Amino acid sequence: GAVVSQHPSWVICKSGTSVKIECRSLDFQATTMFWYRQFPKQSLMLMATSNEGSKATYEQGVEKDKFLINHASLTLSTLTVTSAHPEDSSFYICSARPASVVDTQYFGPGTRLTVL
Amino acid sequence: ILNVEQSPQSLHVQEGDSTNFTCSFPSSNFYALHWYRWETAKSPEALFVMTLNGDEKKKGRISATLNTKEGYSYLYIKGSQPEDSATYLCAVRDDKIIFGKGTRLHILP
């Protein structure tokens, strides 16, 4: 099946620094990638939808200047958490949708971010 | 869609027993329902996509049904095995996709 990787799988950083998370589709081209966040005991919440070569669409309440998304190729999207604060500590997970399939998305394994 | 509810939150089942759990959602503006299995430290794995009222899907010992008129889906596991231990996520899509909190299934040996 289709494989999506995420890197890093976990990261600890100091408050005020920026952290970049990569999401790659390894064996298919993804015109659309999604970024989710999950707080403890909560649902996966969609943060933004990124389409290759265009600006990401952010969900209500998600600061686009804080969570920078770049989808420069059909196999790579990055999420940069800028000036991270402890309240940004969460589990971030991406998914990728193949170009030819509308109702399917393949998830990465997620990244655990802890901001000290 | 405002909320997708999954119940129970957690479930312990003896190996060999069958089990089922529920995903509930508002029935207006429904487009599709997805079930995922999510094992710890792995990626969520798609199990089923269902769109039509009355849909039934099956994959090995796991099956699912969909009732869009009353707004629920059931996931059934027959003859539970240790490898079935995971969190089962339901996600419902109208113009956006909303996830439930999942049902965490523990299979007891």
Decide if A43 and B100 are in contact by the 8 Å CB cutoff: yes
How confident is the model at residue A83, as a pLDDT?
96
For B56-85, what is each residue's pLDDT tens digit? 999 999 999 999 999 999 999 999 999 999
Residue A110 has pLDDT above 90, yes or no: yes
3-state helix, strand, coil in chain A (%, to 5): 5, 55, 45
Decide if A109 and B32 are in contact by the 8 Å CB cutoff: no
Q: Can you tell me the distance from the alpha carbon of A30 to that of A33, in angstroms, rounded to the nearest whole number?
A: 7
CA distances from B64 to A96, B19, B47, B49, B104 (A): 24, 12, 9, 10, 17
For residue B46, the chain A residue with the least C-alpha distance is A106
CA distances from B82 to A35, A115, B77, B85 (A): 31, 35, 12, 6
Cis check: omega of the bond before A86, within 30 degrees of 0: no
Q: Can you tell me the distance from the alpha carbon of A25 to that of B31, in angstroms, rounded to the nearest whole number?
A: 26
| A-chain residues near B95 (CB < 8 A) | none
Of B43, B49, B93, Cβ closest to residue A4: B43
Average pLDDT over residues A26-38: 93
Assess B44–A contact: CB distance below 8 Å, yes or no: yes
